Every structure is written in C-alpha cells, then in structure tokens.
Structure 1
Amino acid sequence: MNREQKYRLLEQASPEEITALTDLVNECPWRQTFHVQPIMGLLNDPNGFSFYEGEYHLFYQWFPLGTYHGMKYWYHTKSKDLAFWHNEGIAIVPKDPIDSHGAYSGSAIVKDNKLHLIYTGNTRDSKWNRRPYQCLAIMNEEGFINKQNTPLVDHVPEGYTDHFRDPKVWKDDDMYRFVIGAQREDLTGAAVVYESSDFKEWRYQGEIKTNLGHFGYMWECPDYFELEGKGVFIFSPQGLTPEQDRFQNIYQSGYLIGKPLDRKTLELDHGEFEELDRGFDFYAPQTMVDEKGRRIMIAWMGQAEVAYPTDSHGWAHCLTIPRELKIRHGKLIQQPVPELQKLRGRSIVIQDMIENEVRTYEGVRGTTFEMVCEFSAVKAAAVGIVIRASQQEQTIIRYDKTNKKITLNRAESGNLSDGTNNAIRSCRLDSENIKFHLFVDTSSVEVFINDGEEVFTSRIFPQSGSEEIRFFTEEGSAHMTMTKWDLAQAVD
C-alpha cells in the first residue's frame, strides 16, 4: 500500500466512499451490542480514559478509511455510568506539523477544571524518518478541544530510538509526572519518566529501573499507579518469546507489582511479570481513577498485524468492558464494574447435578448475554461450558481439574482471525470449585475466572444461528448453579 493511501485524512475521501463504507459496516453480522466499536474503519488503543464533569470520557485510536493502521485520529465517546456509551465524534485531527502523520496514544488528567489530553504526535520527514512529539490538547466544560501548537516534549533523549510514545500522566503531591514507552538504541524495550511542577516545562528524569533486563524490543502503553499500598506498572512489551502457555499472542500486555516507585531513583522493586489476560485479543490497556476512587481498566480487544473477519465489512476491533482492578494475594485481579448490571434484562436460573454428560436447558441459549456459572462439589476430571454452539460451531471453556488448567478453545468458533497461532489459550489454575463469569457479545467473549483471578478475552465470529449453551462434566460429577441474563443494546 502506498503512503498516500495509508496517510489520507478523512476529508480527502469522497462522500461516495464514506457512504459505501458506512453501508458495508451496517451490513456486517458481527456488530457488537454493548462494546465500544468504531462507526467504520479501525479502532485500536484506548486513550484519555478519565472522569470529568460528571461523566466518563474515553478516546481511542481511529483510522476511519480502512481496516489497516493508517492515519490515526482520536475519537471520543462518553458515558454517565460505564454501561451506556454515546459517541461524541472526532476529538483530535492529525493535521499539524507536530502530529502530521498521526495522533498516537496518550492519556488525560483534569487540571484547572479542564481535561488535559497528552498524546504522541507522529511525524515523518522527506526521507520518511520518524520524529515523535509529546503533544497537548485541552478540552473545556462544553467539550470543545483546543490543540496546543507547542509540544510538551520536542525531542527524544539520548540513548533511545524514535519509537518513543504513549505518555501516561498522573499527579503526585509534589509533581505532575508521565511515563513513556521507549526503545533503547540497542533495540530493547524500556519506559522513561518526565516530571513538571507547572504542566509547562517537562524534565526528563530517566528510565524506570526494573530487574527484567532485556525484555522485548519495545514497551508500549506504559501505565504506573499505586493500589492498596503497592506500586503497579502495566505495559505492553513487544518481542517476547512464547514460553509454554505464556506469551502466545503476537504482542503481550502485563504488569509488575511491588513497592511504590521511588520518585528520586526511579527504582521499582517488583515481582514477576504477569500477563493481564490469557485470551487471544487483548492489548494496550489503560487505567483511570474515578470519583469513587476505583481503579478501572479498559483495553483494546484486538491485536496488531492480525486480519479479522470484519475487515471485509469495513471495520475492525472494539474495546473491552470496563474492569475494576484490585489486588488479591499479591496478584492483580479484574472484575466487571457493577454498573454493567444496568444492561441486564430477562434472567433464568438453573441448578443441577451433572455427571459425565453434556446438558442443555430449555430457554438457555443466546448470542448476547451475561452468565455466571459455578461448579461445586467437583468430583469430575473436567467441567466446562460450551457457548455460541450449533452442529457446526462451538466455543469451549473448560477447567481440567486433574491437570489444573483452564482452556479457551475457539477452533470451531466460526470464522477465525488470521495469524492466531493455533486456536487454544490456556493457563494454570488450582481450584477445588470453579466460577465462570461470561460476557458474550455478537462477536466476542470475556471470561472472568473465580472473580477475576484469571481472564480470557477473545473475538469469536460464529453464525447468528449458533446460540446453544451447553454444560458438561467429564469422568465424574459436579453440582452446577447458573444464572443467565439477556443484555441490552448499550452503544451508538
């Protein structure tokens, strides 16, 4: 694809092209009902996730004219309750000298009663060399956004390449700070910190010091915060080598937990790197603190460099549901925010004893639903659920108690994404009983295991007629309690 095509602005498209794209999207059978998704084109990283003027504001990377990674805009959507979302439209247009080739990822913070949006402006010179700037745009109470002409940071510090992006800002008692994802000149990943007392003059402080050594070739979308007295550093390292069940996706997202970051030395005393999500489609998470003091995370439900079945319908990707983060036994857990209960409609409850069989129940089926299913008194080798099932299709979530492993199998889930690196994702879990909490949309599934101890997030693309739900045990019995809710349309 030539550069002119890839870096077109929306205004360069004809009305006929926009109409054709919109019609193509509207004909797609895999449009979501309660996930944030693009009106057309490609969505990727969530940006600027924040609470301002009584509402949750969420921006995301958006290329409107295709399903490839072209000229990136910021698109704006907002919600009063994290359940129902309303599109506000384009927030940042990349057409100035400091963001001429894309408004890349960033974050937001409220200052002086205005929402300050910090992002990376991507530029290219005549020889196609990249030069990043860290830019600022300010949104007022009426929702008007004013881009600032002068960048906050106009150069990359010595020792790093021009892969230098994704500022995540926060405020300490003494300073504003942001962390940026970086690549060292030796082509290894890192994250660096800047600080400012006035939000105008930003000083480079150095690199966050971890014990990871050479850990991938680039760290994207870094996010540092403190939770329950611990320092938590989330980032998305690129270039990790798969290790058994770990690091199976093309790019990973995970976290370190330890003591709070030393603001003077930038030393982070931490434990092992843990993946945030065990599924196929999760990347570039971003967190925020709301007015209730909760740390809430949303991520891109997708992966770069992977073709999806919706591509041929003129759109790609969506965002995850909002999840509250907590720490349990030194581990970061994720739980769906309770506001999502507002989406619940008709419910059905089933209790049964299942023994070495597959069971279905009258009225328990669907394509868009929430379900909580608990298996107790487990005397079976394995238990599990099959969703979006028919004679030809099924998605299987299985707990192998004998081998202590959770597996998501989408080998028969319908149309598959290209480059998925097999159709199974697994992780180790040792539990006497098992609880599955599912959010199933038209073309996705998010599975929360044991109240967020593990999470599997994946796109699936079955036919509309694949709506059976099955429950099973293998080599033994278990008691099953299940509640299922139909869910309402929640996005524009």
Structure 2
Amino acid sequence: MNQQELIVKANQEVARNKEKVENDPYRLRFHIMPPVGLLNDPNGFIQYKGIYHLFYQWNPFETAHGSKFWGHYMSKDLVNWEHQPIALAPSEWFEKNGCYSGSAIEHDGKMILFYTGNVKGEKGERETYQCMAVSNDGLTFEKKGPVIHLPDGYTAHFRDPKVWEKDDTWFMVLGAQDLHEQGKVVLYSSQNITDWEFHGAITGSEMNGLGPFGYMWECPDLFELDGKEVLLVSPQGLEPEGDLYHNLFQAGYFVGEFDYETQTYSHGDFTELDRGFDFYAPQTTIDEKGRRLLFAWMGITDDNEQYQPTIDNGWIHAMTLPRVLSLKGGKVVQQPVEELKKLRKNEISYENVQVNTEILNLDNIQGTSMEILMDGISYQTDSFEITFRGAASFFYSAKENKMSLHRKNFKDGLIESRHCQMHGIKKLHVFLDTSSIEIFVNDGEEVFTARFFPSSNNESVSFISEGNLQFNMKKWNLG
C-alpha cells in the first residue's frame, strides 16, 4: 500500500471512531492524545518558523504496538494544539513495518525529519535504517530514504536518531544494542546532513564507570544545559534497586562533559527523570526564547497496558504537559511551562489551611480538571496524605524523608506505589486531568507522573495528617 492509501485508511479509522473516542469520560482536557488508536513516543519536537511542532508515534488501527505512523500536532503557544495531516506513513521498503522514532531540525529554511525505518522479515528477523524526510512548509514531507545503514558490531536494535548542530557540524546520537546485548548510545557527525561519519559508542552499559546497565538504550537526547551536557536516555533491562527502577523501562539522565573534538562523553550517575508510573522516551528542543523544553510519553509498555479502560473506546495514551528544564546543583529540574497559565479559570484561594487527624475536604477544591498550588507548607507531623478523586494519593513521610504516589492497578485494582527520597516539602504544584496527574515537588526538584482512572462521580481532593499540617493554596479549573 502506498503512502497516500495508508493515510486515507488511517483517516477513515479516525472518522469511524470519532464519536466513540470523543465521548470517552476519560478523554483528557489539556493533554495531547491520539484521535484514535495508540500514541507513544514524542518525535520531531521543534519550533519551526515560530510554530511548535510535535510529532508522535501513532498506530491508528489498533490500541496495540503495530506499524507506526508519525502523527502531527502544531501550536503557537504550547497550550492550544491542532491535529495536522499525517507526516509519515510506513509505505516504503525501508520502513514497511514502522516509521519509528526520531527528531527534527531546521536547515536552509526547511524542516528535516530523521527517523528509524523498521523492517521485519517473514521469520521475524529485523532490519533498521536511519531515514530522512524533507519539508518546505512543515506539513508535507518528501522521503529521501536511508542515510545511515547498520554498522558492524550492533544488532538491529539501533534506532531513534536525535540530531543537532554545533559549530557548523551536525551531530546525531542513536540508541543501540551491541552484539553482547549491552545498551549503548552511539554518535555520528556530518557536514551536509546526508553523509554521516560513525564515531562509535560514547556511553552505555559497561562504559564510563557503569557496570551492567540494560540491554538496550532508547531515545537518547544530548544537549547543553546551563554549562553542562545532559544526556536523556531510556534504558531497558534495569532491575529494581531499593526505591529505584520499578517501572518496566526507565527514563532518566546523566550530567557530564561532551568533548566535541574527541567525541567523548564523561558523566556522573544515572538519575530517573520522573518518579511516577507513566513517563518514557522524553524528547527536548530549544525554542526561540532559549528554553530547553521537554515532552514525554505519559505511558509505558508493560503487561498492564492492555487493561487501561480507554481501550474500550478505541484509544490509549497521551503526552505529558510541556516542561522547561534547568540545572540546579547538578540536578535536572522540570517545571510546567508558563503558557499553561492561559488555561486557568475561576481561581479559589485559601490562606493558612490547618490539617490534622481529621480528613479535610475544602469547599470548591474539587473537579476533574484542575491545577492546585500549595506553598508555605509547614508541618509538625510524621506524615501527611492528599487523596485525589479516591483513586490516587500523594503520601509524605517526614519520619523517613520519603514521598510516595499510590494508585489503583489497572488490572486488579490493588494499590501500587512509587517512592522517592525528599528531605522536606515546601511546595506542591499539581495538574489533575480527567485521567492523569502530574505532581511537581519543590519547584520541580522531583516530579510524579501517572495515568489513573477514578469513578466519574468522585471529584474530591482530601487531606489528612498525623499531626499538624499547614499550607496556603490556590486552585484553578483548567481546560
């Protein structure tokens, strides 16, 4: 099937399911979602000619991981997003089983996409190609085919090109697996974006002081942030370790120094970027304001994915809110972009709220889509808890200096938890959507992101503390 035939077929699927999808009570109010089917990794995030573009991995035909298209959203303000025509469909020999993840650059006034062409043979054997597509308008793309073939020493798990320019040279990092099934990040460079020189692995499992650290590293993104080079990456195959690495796959970062002359990267320890249940494959861009912005997939591929209730209505997964990154004390900090304030309606504020051993429900602090800002937090207590719509809760143990996010498991309804150390909480900034929660702690020092599915008749937010808890609060309806 050629590209246009695939696009027509996908559009028919959108139209056929439109009413069912849009009437789903768990449809989000202010997050990016697929119009039908499955969404996963953010791709090609760029501000081009003043407009933000976000592409995404998309299977329009089912709520499972099949042959991926590149869906496309555009926005002038990071808040109001409009769905655009499909950018890439898996129609050519070099991508026939999926246009996999990649990135976008601007070059000579054109938008250039780099992506992985996925090919599977009749016996399941895999081929991989790094491909290029070119657009004069950011809407229609001409495929140029493969620009990089698989180098020696690596399996066909070799994907997710992220491209940037430095001193008139183009660089590309890719996620890879070597022949010993160790995850790596490899580097290429180019003077003309079509001819690429291979420089080998710059970091990975069994490199740079790391021991065994996963069998595949996906979605690398290397960029300068406040004088350091930060590498975002999503390693697969990490075993749980204390409170760490409890999702099936992880997403996190290294902070270090990249030497452009020797093409070497030295770095510190790996840190998870988000402490919740649903955060993977983050990708960044730098905008005209000089901000380093991030989107991530608010989902994960695991055994419970198939039990999400939105599947009954023909769709699954969403993106996180857009976040701006900074580096503080060697730690990557994430904060919601300022533009999200445009969503605010009907401000309610409370001063000097007191909570103790009785459950507290505040008048007007309820709803399905809202922003809550708690600051001036002080406490003389061993612990306190905030429950959201009876289906998720944030718990802090001052005794153990530990935060936890609890929710009901999609499959069996039992409570599951994610944890993180935190010495003192001064501020909580919560974005609650119909079926998602994002909690920014202490101005984004830590973040918890999760999907959850409360009953439609529960819109409450409640507070309880073992001892005295005190805070100021503002709340807005959003959407």
In structure 2, distance between residues paired with 1:346 and 1:44: 33
- The residue that corresponds to 1:402 in the other structure is 399
Q: Which amino acid aligns with 1:266?
A: Q
SS in 2 for 1:462: coil
Shift of 1:378: 1.3
The correspondence of residues 55-134 of structure 1 with structure 2, limited to 5 A, is 55-134=51-130
- The residue that corresponds to 1:160 in the other structure is 154
In structure 2, distance between residues paired with 1:240 and 1:170: 28
SS in 1 for 2:380: coil
Q: 1:479 aligns with which of 456, 461, 470?
A: 470
- The residue that corresponds to 1:426 in the other structure is 419
Q: 2:35 aligns with which of 35, 39, 62?
A: 39
Shift of 1:28: 1.7
TM-score of the aligned structures, taking structure 2 as reference length:
0.94
Shift of 1:420: 10
Q: 1:169 aligns with which of 163, 168, 174?
A: 163
The answer for unaligned runs of 5 or more in structure 2 is none
Q: Is the 8 A contact 2:14 2:35 kept in 1?
A: no
- The residue that corresponds to 1:151 in the other structure is 146
In structure 1, distance between residues paired with 2:412 and 2:156: 28
- The residue that corresponds to 1:312 in the other structure is 312
- The residue that corresponds to 1:361 in the other structure is 362
The correspondence of residues 197-346 of structure 1 with structure 2, limited to 5 A, is 197-209=191-203, 210-259=208-257, 261-305=258-302, 306-307=305-306, 308-346=308-346
In structure 2, distance between residues paired with 1:420 and 1:269: 44
CA offset digits 1:390-416 (Å, max 9, x no partner): xxx3321121111100111113xxxx4
Q: Which amino acid aligns with 1:223?
A: D
The answer for unaligned runs of 5 or more in structure 1 is none
- The residue that corresponds to 2:410 in the other structure is 417
In structure 1, distance between residues paired with 2:266 and 2:188: 20
In structure 1, distance between residues paired with 2:262 and 2:379: 50
| Structure-2 change in CA distance of 1:269 and 1:215 (3 Å) | same
- More moved, 277-286 vs 122-131: 122-131
| Structure-2 change in CA distance of 1:362 and 1:422 (3 Å) | closer
In structure 2, distance between residues paired with 1:174 and 1:421: 54
In structure 2, distance between residues paired with 1:340 and 1:34: 9
In structure 1, distance between residues paired with 2:449 and 2:395: 15
SS in 2 for 1:21: helix
1:348 is aligned to 2:348? yes
Q: Is the 8 A contact 2:48 2:138 kept in 1?
A: no
CA offset digits 1:187-206 (Å, max 9, x no partner): 11001001001112111111
SS in 2 for 1:65: coil
SS in 1 for 2:244: coil
In structure 1, distance between residues paired with 2:173 and 2:6: 29
- The residue that corresponds to 1:461 in the other structure is 453
Q: Which amino acid aligns with 2:151?
A: P
SS in 2 for 1:291: coil
Q: Which amino acid aligns with 2:300?
A: Q
CA offset digits 1:274-305 (Å, max 9, x no partner): 00000000000000000011000000000013
Shift of 1:53: 1.0
SS in 2 for 1:68: coil
Q: Is the 8 A contact 2:406 2:415 kept in 1?
A: no
Q: Is the 8 A contact 1:135 1:152 kept in 2?
A: yes
Q: 1:448 aligns with which of 417, 440, 443?
A: 440
Q: 1:179 aligns with which of 162, 173, 176?
A: 173
Residues paired across the two proteins, number: 468
In structure 2, distance between residues paired with 1:174 and 1:279: 39
Larger proportion of strand: 2
SS in 1 for 2:310: helix
CA offset digits 1:125-158 (Å, max 9, x no partner): 344321111111112136322211x3111x2111
| Structure-2 change in CA distance of 1:14 and 1:46 (3 Å) | closer
Q: Which amino acid aligns with 1:429?
A: M
Shift of 1:10: 5.8
RMSD: 1.9
Q: Is the 8 A contact 1:375 1:478 kept in 2?
A: no
In structure 2, distance between residues paired with 1:71 and 1:370: 36
Q: Which amino acid aligns with 1:263?
A: Y
SS in 2 for 1:92: coil
In structure 2, distance between residues paired with 1:470 and 1:128: 51
Q: Is the 8 A contact 2:407 2:415 kept in 1?
A: no
Q: Is the 8 A contact 1:278 1:425 kept in 2?
A: yes
Q: Which amino acid aligns with 1:274?
A: T
In structure 1, distance between residues paired with 2:11 and 2:339: 40
In structure 2, distance between residues paired with 1:27 and 1:341: 26
Shift of 1:11: 4.8
Q: Which amino acid aligns with 1:31?
A: R
Q: Is the 8 A contact 1:9 1:71 kept in 2?
A: no
In structure 2, distance between residues paired with 1:203 and 1:269: 21
Q: Is the 8 A contact 1:92 1:103 kept in 2?
A: yes
| Structure-2 change in CA distance of 1:120 and 1:151 (3 Å) | same
Identity of aligned residues (%): 45
Q: Which amino acid aligns with 2:339?
A: E
In structure 2, distance between residues paired with 1:48 and 1:354: 46
In structure 1, distance between residues paired with 2:209 and 2:164: 24
- The residue that corresponds to 1:374 in the other structure is 375
In structure 2, distance between residues paired with 1:461 and 1:332: 29
In structure 1, distance between residues paired with 2:11 and 2:281: 32
Shift of 1:421: 9.9
SS in 1 for 2:372: strand
Q: Is the 8 A contact 1:356 1:380 kept in 2?
A: no
Shift of 1:239: 0.5
TM-score of the aligned structures, taking structure 1 as reference length:
0.91
In structure 1, distance between residues paired with 2:235 and 2:415: 21
SS in 2 for 1:303: coil
| Structure-2 change in CA distance of 1:223 and 1:73 (3 Å) | same
In structure 2, distance between residues paired with 1:309 and 1:204: 45
Q: Which amino acid aligns with 1:178?
A: M
CA offset digits 1:344-389 (Å, max 9, x no partner): 111100122223332112211111001111353311111232211x
